[in-house]
Amino acid sequence: MASSCISQAPTCNNVEKSPNELPKARFWEAMDICQWEGFWFEPGLVKPAITFRSTFQARDDDVLLASTPKTGTTWLKALSLCIMHQNQEHDILTMENPHFHVPTIESTIYSTKPQKSDLYDASAPRLVHTHLPHAVLPDSVKNSACKIVYIARNPKDTLISMWHFFNSIFRPNQEPFPLEKAVDCFCAGVYQYGPFFEHVVEYWQESQKRPEKILFLKYEELKTDPKGQVCKIAEFLGRPFGSEEEAEDVVQRCCLERLKNLEVNKSGSILFNVPNTSYFRKGEVGDWKNYLTPEMEDKINQTSRIKLHPFGLFF
């Protein structure tokens, strides 16, 4: 996930409320989190999120990618990079991990490498990402013509992906965190960037109201029809491909096996404590079947029925 697991003082101003004053919880017995605007964050992310909301001046040609963690962020970053850098000779994906090229705005305080320019002032076209919920996006993002591309994934695979990721970060070489407890945290939404369900619903509803503004993608559809979905993103961003082969090329360049095996992704890290390798695992639809018991599946299905089905949302 595009945020660090260590705490460090952020260097931002414009603080509305100190994280100390917010409701607190412990995530997987490993990380303090606090609740801000209905979502849970490690405290170090709150000030940058507030700064983003209150000071970011979106431009009409900005592109903002958005997601809740473990839903296909890295893939979407890679695809969008290729789409935005069409016609360039060099392959940008071989130069750095996608999370460097497309920073997650609120977590850049944890970057291991400084950006080439200030994100808030970078030259056009800016391509950035956030895990923040729609409600807290800056007004300038909502009111300008800048485009938002959101990626969602079915909750059970999202949870399993998250379970692997946080086990590798919090408990390397140890027994994994009990999956049953992880399911409970997930359904209750009490974990870094949770809750999943409200995050997805907010962006979904906005994408229904303003389809020209927000493109809502599903990881599963990207898996079954990558070329069709990639063409859709390119058209949405006003950068349609000249030929089918160009779209096919982007799909190939961004496939999991290739990204996983690029030198820049085999070592190092873009964010403290988060190795680049941790962004690439199996990338399968339905991997949850290898882990969840029928009881755990039931719990997540019940939550989905309450929180997603009323909105006509899948899963």
Binding site for ligand PAP (CB under 6 A): 1-2, 67, 69-75, 78, 157, 161, 164, 254-256, 259, 279-283, 287
- For residue 30 the two structure tokens come to 């490993």
Cβ proximity to ligand PAP, 70 vs 126, nearer residue? 70
Cβ proximity to ligand PAP, 91 vs 209, nearer residue? 91
Is 129 annotated in the active site? no
Amino acid at 272: F
CB of 141 to ligand PAP, least distance (A): 20
CB of 143 to ligand PAP, least distance (A): 27
Cβ proximity to ligand PAP, 212 vs 263, nearer residue? 263
Contacts of 6 (CB under 8 A, 6+ apart): 110, 272, 273
Of residues 169, 138, 184, 216, the one with CA closest to residue 42: 169
Q: Is 180 helix (H, G, I), strand (E, B) or coil?
A: helix
Contacts of 165 (CB under 8 A, 6+ apart): 1, 69, 70, 278, 281
Q: What's the start-to-end Cα distance of the chain, in Å?
A: 21
Cβ proximity to ligand PAP, 7 vs 277, nearer residue? 277
CB of 285 to ligand PAP, least distance (A): 9
Half-sphere exposure of 150 (CA within 13 A, CB side): 24
Q: Give CA–CA dist 137/132, Å, rounded.
A: 7
CB of 226 to ligand PAP, least distance (A): 9
Cβ proximity to ligand PAP, 187 vs 230, nearer residue? 230
- For residue 51 the two structure tokens come to 């700064």
Name 26's bridge partners.
32
Catalytic position from the list 131, 134, 164, 309: 131
CB of 139 to ligand PAP, least distance (A): 25
Active-site residue list: 131
